[in-house]
Amino acid sequence: MKITSAILAILFFFSCNDSNSNQAAIASNAERKSPTTLKETPPAETIQMDHSIDLEFLMGKFDPTKHPNFIPIEKKFASRNGMYLQKETYEAFKKMHAAAKQDGVSFVIKSATRNFKAQKGIWEAKWEGTRPTTGVKNIKKEFPNPKDRALKILEFSSMPSTSRHHWGTDIDVNNFTNKYFEKGKGLKEYEWLKNNAHTFGFYQPYTEKGTKRPHGYNEEKWHWSYLPLSKKYIDQMKLRMKNETVTGFKGAETAKEINVVDKYILGINQECL
Report if residue 223 touches Zn ion, rule: CB under 5 A: yes
Question: Taking the mean position of all CA atoms in its chain, how far away is CA 252?
Answer: 21
Q: Are 251 and 158 in contact (CB under 8 A)?
A: no
Contact 47, 235 (CB under 8 A): yes
CB atoms within 10 A of CB 67: 15
Closest residue to Zn ion, based on beta-carbon distance? 223
Q: How many CB atoms neighbour CB 258 within 10 A?
A: 18
Q: Is the CB of 170 or the CB of 235 nearer to Zn ion?
A: 170
Short-list 195, 210, 226, 192, CA closest to 103: 192
Cα–Cα distance measured from residue 249 to residue 59, given in angstroms and rounded to the nearest whole number: 13
Of 194 and 256, the one with the shorter C-beta distance to Zn ion is 194
Q: Is 97 in the site for Zn ion (CB under 5 A)?
A: no
* Segment interacting with Zn ion, rule: CB under 5 A, options 70-78, 219-227, 230-238, 253-261: 219-227
Question: With contact defined as beta carbons under 8 Å apart, do 126 and 140 qualify?
Answer: no
Contacts to Zn ion from residues 172-201, by CB under 5 A: 172
Q: Find the shortest distance in angstroms from Cβ 268 to Zn ion.
A: 12
The smaller minimum CB distance to Zn ion, of residues 149 and 221, is found at 221
Residue 261 to residues 191, 215, 224, Cα–Cα distance (Å): 30, 11, 20
Cα 265 from Cα 234, distance rounded (Å): 8
Closer to Zn ion at the Cβ: 29 or 177? 177
CB 90 to Zn ion: min, Å: 16
Cα 184 to the center of its chain, rounded Å = 27
The yes or no reply on residue 114 touching Zn ion (CB under 5 A) is no
Nearest to 267 by CA among 200, 210, 193, 229: 210
Nearer to Zn ion, 152 or 164 (CB): 164
221 binds Zn ion (CB under 5 A): no
Judged by CB under 5 A, the chain residues 118 through 177 that form the site for Zn ion are 172
Task: For the CB of residue 224, give the shortest distance to Zn ion in the complex, in Å.
Answer: 8
Helix, strand, or coil here: 102?
helix
| Phi, psi (rounded to 5 degrees) for 110 | -100, -25
CB of 34 to Zn ion, least distance (A): 35
Applying CB under 5 A, the site for Zn ion has a residue count of: 2
Residue 225 or residue 236: which is nearer to Zn ion going by CB? 225
CB of 206 to Zn ion, least distance (A): 8
CA–chain centroid gap for 110, Å, is 18
For residue 82, the minimal CB distance to Zn ion (Å) is 17
What is the closest distance, in whole angstroms, from the C-beta atom of residue 218 to Zn ion in the complex? 12
Contact range with Zn ion by CB under 5 A, out of 33-41, 69-77, 194-202, 223-231:
223-231
Closer to Zn ion by CB, 100 or 268: give it: 268
| Sites of contact with Zn ion (CB under 5 A) | 172, 223
